[in-house]
Amino acid sequence: MSEEFLGYQRAKGKVGIRNKIAIISSVVCVNHIAEQIAKEIENSVAITHPLGCGQFGPDFSYTLRTLVGLGSNPNIYGVIVVGLGCENLTSKLIANNIKRAKKPVEFFNMQDVKGGSKAAVEKGIKIGKMLANEAKELQQEPFDFSNLILGLECGGSDSISGITANPTVGIISDKIIELGGTSILPEFTEWIGTEHLLIQRATNKKVADKIHLTLNNFLENTMKTGIDFRGIQPTPGNIEGGLTTIEEKSLGTIAKAGKAPIMGVLKYSEAPKGKGLWLMIEPGLDVESMTGLAAAGAQAIIMTTGRGSPCGNPVTPVIKICGNPKTCDWMASNIDVDASKIITENKDIKVIADTLWRKLKETCNGGKTKAEILGFEDIAIWRCTAAPFQIFRS
């Protein structure tokens, strides 16, 4: 295969495009400790969140699966999990699950370190420096794109996203899949109105039924709480921008997923069970969504943004593509690929797709995205027990 990138070999045949050390807090109480450690370790990221205790049922599983997934992502060389010592989501549980990815994982609780938080930070820095030195030894090697999992995100969409940036991303998603790779489309609330098309693209009846049930259960459960979700879309701003019906809006959204067949529907933060295009159940907040994509193992994310979003992810580089000329101008420091020439210069979508493909390759080779340069390392974990999401028991 002629298309290749320079990545990092991980155990179990996985390939990373970054070689970071992750400092994960098991519970909100030790976020500051994880952040203090990460500050002192070269090429490291702190993965912190407001959760980890007082959680039960699906919420507990979602937080656990997400933190384990982030640590297991092949962009991460090694992990330190810092716990407090009395929380219900323990550092040991997270670390033991990440160990299945056969990478260096260390864990400890602050309450087990004599000297309080200061000593815990020192302990973490000591371990972290060791991991960072090991990581530096690793050389990049060429890999083909069958090794890549690409996340397909959109945020701050406007009425032109669906005719510019989104179909451009669709071309790239199809290309990755043609090259034997994988892509994931999250944000199920934005599939509503197009389920008949997604169902037609399902590779078998089980997948088709799952797509149908996911959306049907969601709509029925929201109806029970007195909310007709379909009536909310498209929004007044969408309509002003030219969108007319819910299906028109959703068609623009799912354009990011190109034309490939759908292999299955993943739970939030669940890794794909094979190559090809996968859907992920996730409600549509960008940072939650990108956290779930990174936890599912995506090494790169492409995010289309019309009105302009600065967000990024600590584990997975996020490439921004924008079709809105004003946003491309005003937010040039945040946008990686300018798709507005589709409008301003009548450029063919395929020409912009070539530019996006080059940017993706550059990013896979280690080139930093705007969100990485600016330091956007955002984490949010979906709390699914909030009504009406209770249907998604894990």
Applying CB under 8 A, the residues found at the interface with another protein are 158-160, 163, 167, 193-194, 196-197, 230, 239, 241-248, 251-252, 255, 342-343, 346
The distance of closest approach from Cβ of residue 244 to another protein in the complex, given in angstroms and rounded to an integer, is 5
Residue 275 contacts residue 281 (beta carbons within 8 Å): no
- Residue 222: name the closest of 192, 266, 244 by CA: 192
The distance of closest approach from Cβ of residue 248 to another protein in the complex, given in angstroms and rounded to an integer, is 4
Comparing CB distances to another protein, the nearer of 187 and 247 is 247
Strand partners, 16: 8
The distance of closest approach from Cβ of residue 32 to another protein in the complex, given in angstroms and rounded to an integer, is 45
SS3 77: strand
- Name the CA dihedral angle for 26, 31, 33, 39, rounded to a multiple of 10 degrees: 110
Comparing CB distances to another protein, the nearer of 77 and 191 is 191
Comparing CB distances to another protein, the nearer of 333 and 346 is 346
Comparing CB distances to another protein, the nearer of 192 and 384 is 192
The distance of closest approach from Cβ of residue 285 to another protein in the complex, given in angstroms and rounded to an integer, is 24
Residue 337 contacts residue 355 (beta carbons within 8 Å): yes
Token reading at 71:
């640590």
Comparing CB distances to another protein, the nearer of 16 and 252 is 252
Give whole-number Cα distances, 145 to 86, 173, 209, in Å.
43, 11, 30
Comparing CB distances to another protein, the nearer of 18 and 201 is 201
Task: Classify burial at 35, counting beta carbons within 10 Å of its beta carbon; exposed 0-12, middle 13-18, buried 19 or more.
Answer: middle
The distance of closest approach from Cβ of residue 193 to another protein in the complex, given in angstroms and rounded to an integer, is 5
- Which helix (H) or strand (E) is 67 found in, with range? helix 57-72
Comparing CB distances to another protein, the nearer of 72 and 159 is 159
Q: What's the CA gap between 254 and 263, in Å, rounded?
A: 15
Token reading at 199:
């169902």
The distance of closest approach from Cβ of residue 167 to another protein in the complex, given in angstroms and rounded to an integer, is 7
E-strand spans in the chain? 4-9, 15-16, 20-25, 44-47, 76-83, 105-109, 141-144, 149-154, 182-185, 262-266, 276-280, 300-304, 318-322, 337-338
The distance of closest approach from Cβ of residue 305 to another protein in the complex, given in angstroms and rounded to an integer, is 16
